[in-house]
A and B are shown apart, each in its own frame.
Chain A
Amino acid sequence: METQSLPINYLPIIFQMLVAIGFVVTTMFVTHKIGPKRKTKDKLTPFESGIEVVGNARTPASIKYFLVAILFVLFDVEVIFMYPWAVNFKDMGKTGMIEMFIFMATLLAGFIYVIKKKALDWD
């Protein structure tokens, strides 16, 4: 039922990437060359609404963002696991469905645990 994709089918994607890279590099180069260059020290400071720059911008960010990223990795992998199942869903019938529902129930249990732990609460 699936059409086979040979490596040659991916060749146009590489062409498209080359076209896009060519466009980006050329545009970047041209604007770099034709734009005016009148730099002053004040112009090159980071923008902070007009006041003196205080410290370095690369300070630690809230741990919540890190939690979101870790949870994303977990859940995204689980989501990818479901793709082959979804594609072959019609062939597998009831057994396949029940097996996958068990998998999804486990996933949901983890999800509920995460929510109960208030890992996704922002205050």
Chain B
Amino acid sequence: MELIDLLIKIALIIVIFVISLVVAMYSTYAERKIAAFFQDRVGPNRAGPWGILQPLADGGKMFLKEEIIPTNATGFLFIVGPSLAILTACIGSAVIPWGQNLEIGGRVIPLQVTDINVGILYIFGVVSLGVYGIMIGGWASNNKYSLLGAIRAASQNISYEISMGLSIIALLMVTGTLSLGEIAKQQHGFWADGYFSWNVFKQPLGFLLFIVCAFAETNRSPFDLPECETELVGGYHTEYSSMKLGFYLFAEYINMFISSAVMATLYFGGYNFPFMDLIHSPNLVAILGVVALFIKIFMFIFFFMWVRWTLPRFRYDQLMDLGWKTLIPLAIANIVLTGIFMTFFK
């Protein structure tokens, strides 16, 4: 790797990092505005026009609050918990292809931090690490609510990870690769060889399973039992204050952004959009592709919020039954059906 390539890489990493933080910040604003819309309220409207500076005000407040470490808590782990939560949320974006290659002055700039051939496994690894942040934080707090919330979160996350892993297998059979860059490339355009090229049309059941698991993995409603306020006060972050609380909340929104990006890439064509072959300038296609990907991501984020204000929360046994007794058999059936279909009808 030449020095200039290295600098471009680092610039790209920092740009993506900042974008994911900004998207996460504005997701909090969007969530409150959308909640307000669904409940026929106005929502935040005091900080700046339409309350658009609200996330900055919230961030400033988080910075300036007193940080409290309870005397009973295990101090070191108490700090490690939220740090780990946000750290794992931030590194997932490394393998997502944000667009086609840009070409500036004869230099090809890939809009993907790195296209490793085990991209999906990397994403799964990072997702699995996420549970440590919650578990460590909840345990270190030495508070009954926190510990219960953390145990619930851990067992929920690991239960849904199995169905998530299984739901993706059928997709891998179709794509034949683990590299996210390659998967995005295969879904070129919108229509190819007499069928839709996006994977969602080849794996509708797989996508449904994946999105349910994504809701559970990000602890979003209706699976938000770890922080269910009617039973557990604040769940695993009951004892947290200041920026540590901010990190936990922020990690949730970054995870939502990353999982939306993963879903868009795996199932909804990533940066591909219909009629992209009609545009002849490759750079224009690349830029429009980035725009298309972000539109898809924002639609998924909106969907996350829409569901939150539509469905009530599950009970714990219902959650476990859904994960183990419904999603796993469905995912296995999906694999078997995909296998039979691909062997005998193609």
Contacts and interface: CB of A to CB of B under 8 A. Distances in A.
Interface of A: 1-5, 8-13, 15-17, 19-21, 23-25, 27-28, 30-32, 34-39, 41, 43-49, 53, 56-59, 61, 65, 68-69, 72, 75-76, 79-80, 82-83, 86-90, 93-94, 97, 100-101, 104, 107-108, 111, 115, 120-123
Given A23-B17, A120-B324, A46 B142 contact: yes
Contacts of A89: 172-173, 176, 339, 342
A1 B176 contact: yes
B172 A86 contact: yes
A115 to B, nearest CB: 7
Given A19-B14, A89-B176, 18 more contacts: A9-B115, A13-B95, A21-B87, A35-B64, A36-B65, A36-B66, A45-B70, A46-B239, A48-B144, A56-B142, A68-B320, A69-B154, A79-B169, A86-B172, A87-B177, A104-B336, A120-B321, A120-B324
Interface of B: 1, 9-10, 13-14, 17, 62-73, 79, 83, 86-87, 90-91, 93-95, 113-118, 121-122, 139, 141-148, 151, 154-155, 158-159, 161-162, 165-166, 169-170, 172-173, 176-179, 182, 233, 238-239, 242-244, 247, 316-317, 320-321, 324-325, 328-329, 332, 335-336, 339-340, 342-343
A123 B317 contact: yes
A43 to B, nearest CB: 6
Given A108-B332, A123-B317, A46 B72 contact: yes
A21 B54 CA distance: 26
Nearest to B92: A16
B233 to A, nearest CB: 7
A97 B142 CA distance: 50
Contacts of B141: 46, 57
6 contacts: A10-B116, A13-B114, A16-B13, A19-B13, A28-B79, A28-B244
Contacts of B87: 17, 20-21, 24
